Amino acid sequence: MDARLDFFGNPLAAKVLRHINSAGRVVTDSGLPHATQELVKIRASQINGCGFCTDMHTKDAAAAGETPLRLHLVAAWREATVFTDAERAALKLTEQGTRIADAAGGVTDEAWADAAEHYDEDQLAALISLIAVINAYNRVNVINRQPAGGYRPGQFG
C-alpha cells in the first residue's frame, strides 16, 4: 500500500506538521506522565483505525519500557487489571473525546470528574491537548492512507 500523497515531502503539509509537532512537544514536556501519554495516543489511534500512529506509539512505548502485556491490553482497558485508576480515567476521557460524534452529549461529566480526580489543572490541559493532537495526526494519516509497519522508535526525533 502506498500513501495517497507524500505528506512528509509536501512543503505545505510540512508547515502544517511543524505546527502540530510544536503543540505535541508542549504536551510531551508537560507534567502528564509519559506512560499515560503513550497509552492515550495508542487508544485514540486504535479507535480511529490509524495503523501508522498505532505502530509508532506502541513501538515508542515499548522502547521506553512499557510492558508487552499492557500494550496488548490497551484496547480492552476496561477489563484489564494492569492499568492504574489514573490511566483508566485518561483512557476513558480519550475514548469519549475521540468519539465525540458518537455521543449526543460529548464527554460526560463522569469522565471529566474521574480525570480531574487524578490530574491537576495543567495535566488536564495537557490531556485535552494530547487527545486533540493525536486525533489530528490520526485523521491526516487515515485520509492519506499512510502505510504502517515500518516505523523505527525515535524516527521523528
* Block residue for cell numbers 514536556: 29
Q: 7 pLDDT band (50/70/90 cuts)? A: confident
pLDDT tens readout for residues 69-95: 999 999 999 999 999 999 999 999 999
Quote the pLDDT of residue 131: 98
Angle (deg, nearest 10), helices 85-98 and 109-118: 140
Quote the pLDDT of residue 124: 98
Angle (deg, nearest 10), helices 34-48 and 11-28: 140
CA distance 68 to 16: 33
pLDDT at 62 over 90: yes
Amino acid identity for residue 13 in this structure: A
